[in-house]
Every structure is written in structure tokens, then in C-alpha cells.
Amino acid sequence: MLYFEKKENIDALVKEVYDWQGTQFQRNTRGEAYKGGGCDCISFCLTVYKNLNIIPLDYVAPCYRVGDTSEAYKKICQAVESFENWCLLWDREKSENSFTADTMPGDLVICTSRYVMQHTLICLPDKKCAHVYPDLGFSIVPLESALIQKRIRRKYRYACTI
């Protein structure tokens, strides 16, 4: 059984994510994220996973800045791929099937706009995603929204079995 197939782990994810309500977007927080305060999208995702003990609390990624270059996109992907028990599940350039077909809570989605402006979201139950976005701050959006469908590049899964 995968970690996020267990109901208590899904419940912990949902609780942790919803505890971020009221959090505002703040550019380039470089891994510093505060519930109800401010953070960027990657810092939000990494901190949620740290709080769930899915990635080490002392982990410092090589790039927290979500910028407007293909280099930033590559660094974000490399950081996620360096986590123990995380795997690339879907890649727009290599996959023919829809990324929503087997999406499950806890999956990490990376979106881009032609490798310009990267964005990360955490998948939740009921085909929804949580993120922190400019002008919106913390919000929950449908996974199947046109914007996500158009911009998703990769999907990663925490594949630890329990």
C-alpha cells in the first residue's frame, strides 16, 4: 500500500493543507514558509511535505526560487527527484495519457508556461489541488481546470510503501 492510499495519511495531508488558509503569496521566500504569513508556491509544497515527515525537516533544496528560466524549472525537478521514495509519474513530453487519470492525494504537480514561470501544486482528494499563487495566496482549485490542464509539465508521487 502506498503512503497516500492510507486514509489517516490522506486526512493528515488535508488537515495540514487547510491549515494554510489565509497564507499570502510572497515571492522568492527560498524555502521559508509560514502558515497564515507568506510564502511562494514551492516553499509551501516543501513545507507541507516536511510537516508530514515525507521529506527531512532539515532538507534545503538547491533552488527555492521559482523564476522565469528553464534553469529554475530543471532545478525544481532535480530537487524533487533527489527526495527519497519520490518518482516521476507523468511527463508531458513523454506521456500520451491524461495526467488526471491516476492522480491521487499527495501528488506534486509542476506547471510551466513554455518553461517560463514555474508553479507547484499539491493534489488533494476529489480532484482538487492546493497552492499559493500571486494575488490569490492560498487557494484550492480543480485539478481539471483549463489552466492546469494547459500548463502541467510533470507529476511526482511519494511512492513509499507502508
List the chain pLDDT tens, one digit each, 162 residues. Answer: 899 999 999 999 999 999 999 999 988 777 778 999 999 888 899 999 999 999 988 887 665 555 556 777 788 888 888 888 999 999 988 887 777 778 999 999 998 876 556 789 999 999 999 999 888 999 999 998 887 888 888 999 998 765
Is the model's pTM score more than 0.85? yes
Domain 3-158 has CATH 3.90.330.10: no
Domain ranges of the chain: 3-158
- Which residue pairs, CB below 8 angstroms and at least 24 apart, start in 64-71? 64/28, 64/29, 64/30, 64/31, 64/40, 65/28, 65/30, 65/40, 66/28, 66/40, 66/41, 66/42, 66/117, 66/118, 66/119, 66/120, 67/28, 67/118, 68/116, 68/117, 69/115, 69/116, 70/115
